[in-house]
Amino acid sequence: MTASAADRATGAARRIEWATALACILEASAEKPGNVTPTRGFADVSYPDFVTSALAIAPVMAQAVERRPGQLVLEAVRATRRVVQANTNLGIVLLLAPLARAYARAAGRPGADPDPATLRRATEEVLGELTVDDARLAYEAIRLAAPGGLGAAPDHDVREEPQVNLREAMAAAAGRDHVAGEYATGYGLTFDRVLPALEDALAAGLEVRQAVAEAFLRVLATTPDTLIARKLGPSAAAEVSERARWVLVAGGVRTRRGRAAMRSLDRFLRDPANRRNPGTTADLVAAGLFVHLVLGRSARLHPPVPSPRLAVGEVLPR
């Protein structure tokens, strides 16, 4: 490896680590209805658990230069399990691993300055190269994380040894899980819905956490959450999306009436079992944030230079 190639690899790793930590923290820091936030937790998990998990997986994702997606997924889940006792980030980890690998590839090319189209093409390349071994490692990670609402799958159940590569396995689950669907579609929701919604909100001058909340509402309003659908059925997920549309019609984060509607939606979504938690939508928002951050598309959220390591105070939003 030449010196310039080594420099590019090091720079990509630093950027991935920073973007992973900040994307996860910003996603958790926004007051998104029905989710864990700085002011609202669940019985088994709190906001500090999400911050701790973000900092645990960031250095793992930074290894995307030399590690395959399946390895990243398993090591990130193991790192999370060492610091928290609940599933805080399986969906995020599954989404970020191919994106991190793709960014490392795109940024490692001579003269590279990746944009969304470049990253999307690299992501498609990475997805096309997924193997049965990636599936085996991802299955192990999913079993370790023990996510709620998993259930038994008719094909390619994670409790069994995989017979197909990870993309094929995910494609089989795409109809019931948007995280799996991103593998099948080349991250269609992340690039076509989440990223534009987030960047529109930021361009309108919204504070970062408000922009995250607005992007969350816009995605939820048009895309019924598959975690809710798995727990309560498609009609319940569709009802939540309809209520999210009402919030946006009322002004969402931008008006007093909209913010009151957000609080009302939050009350509706919360129950002791968290059955109406739009967790998959939150995972998609984290993926969109990662893309936005790793590509350096906002002056307000530009990666620090030159330090490769960040203290908690450097990544927590102010």
Does 318 map to a domain? no
| pLDDT at residue 309, rounded to an integer | 46
Question: How confident is residue 110, by pLDDT bands cut at 50, 70 and 90?
Answer: confident
Does 83 map to a domain? yes
CA dist., res. 253 & res. 105, Å (int): 37
pLDDT, the chain, mean: 91
Q: Is it the case that residue 15 has pLDDT exceeding 50?
A: yes
Please, are residues 125 and 118 in contact by the beta-carbon 8 Å criterion? no
| pLDDT at residue 308, rounded to an integer | 42
Does 317 map to a domain? no
How confident is the model over 74-79, as a mean pLDDT?
98
How confident is the model over 219-245, as a mean pLDDT?
98
Q: Is it the case that residue 1 has pLDDT exceeding 60?
A: no
Assessment of whether the complete model's pTM goes beyond 0.85: yes
Does 133 map to a domain? yes
Q: What percent of the chain lies above the pLDDT cut of 90?
A: 80
Q: Is it the case that residue 313 has pLDDT exceeding 50?
A: no
Lookup: tokens for 204: 């309108």
| pLDDT at residue 194, rounded to an integer | 99
pLDDT single digits (tens) 202-216: 999 999 999 999 999
Q: Is it the case that residue 219 has pLDDT exceeding 60?
A: yes
| pLDDT at residue 108, rounded to an integer | 85
pLDDT single digits (tens) 290-312: 999 999 987 677 665 544 444 44
In total, how many domains does the chain have?
A: 1
Structural domain that includes position 214: 3-312
Question: How confident is residue 228, by pLDDT bands cut at 50, 70 and 90?
Answer: very high
- The CATH code of the domain that includes 185 is 1.10.4200.10
Contacts of 39 (CB under 8 A, 6+ apart): 31
Please, are residues 275 and 232 in contact by the beta-carbon 8 Å criterion? yes
How confident is the model over 243-267, as a mean pLDDT?
98
Does 217 map to a domain? yes
Does 257 map to a domain? yes
Distance from the first to the final alpha carbon of the chain = 40
Does 264 map to a domain? yes
Burial of 128 (0-12, 13-18, 19+ CB in 10 A): exposed
| pLDDT at residue 109, rounded to an integer | 82
Q: Is it the case that residue 154 has pLDDT exceeding 70?
A: no
pLDDT single digits (tens) 231-240: 999 999 999 9
Most distant CA pair in the chain: distance in Å? 58
pLDDT single digits (tens) 176-198: 999 999 999 999 999 999 999 99
| pLDDT at residue 2, rounded to an integer | 52
Does 220 map to a domain? yes
Q: Between these two residues, 259 and 303, which has the higher pLDDT value? A: 259
Q: Between these two residues, 34 and 306, which has the higher pLDDT value? A: 34
| pLDDT at residue 310, rounded to an integer | 46
